[in-house]
Amino acid sequence: MRPDTFIPAFLILLLVLTAAIIVTSRTWMLESHRELSNEEDVYLQNLDRERALKLELVTRTDLNTIERRAREELGMQPMRQDQWLPLSD
């Protein structure tokens, strides 16, 4: 390779590598932004669901419905008598 073509070839190679690095980093940045946006949407949906459940808990007055849901959906059972701890004798 002649010395007068070495510098332009080197600069072209450097330009191509720089462009590849920029495109790759921008692609990673956009992908990260997309993932972050999706996670934020999931988080906001969970917040909405939590608010709805809190509102339902505050407004619900039918204790039988609460107990039935606790048993059926959450698998909760009342405590046995031997699990009670008296506070005073």
Residues 19-53 as b/e (b if ≥16 CB within 10 A, e otherwise) read eeeeeeeeeeeeeeeeeeeeeeeeeeeeeeeeeee
73-85: average pLDDT: 78
pLDDT higher at 7 or 33: 33
13-41: average pLDDT: 96
Indicate the domain borders of the chain: 45-74
11-26: average pLDDT: 95
Closest residue by Cα to residue 9 from 19, 24, 17, 20: 17
CB under 8 Å to 66, separation ≥6 — which residues? 60
pTM, full prediction: 0.50
- Please write the tens of the pLDDT for every residue from 32-61: 999 999 999 999 999 999 998 888 777 876
Output DSSP code: residue 78.
P
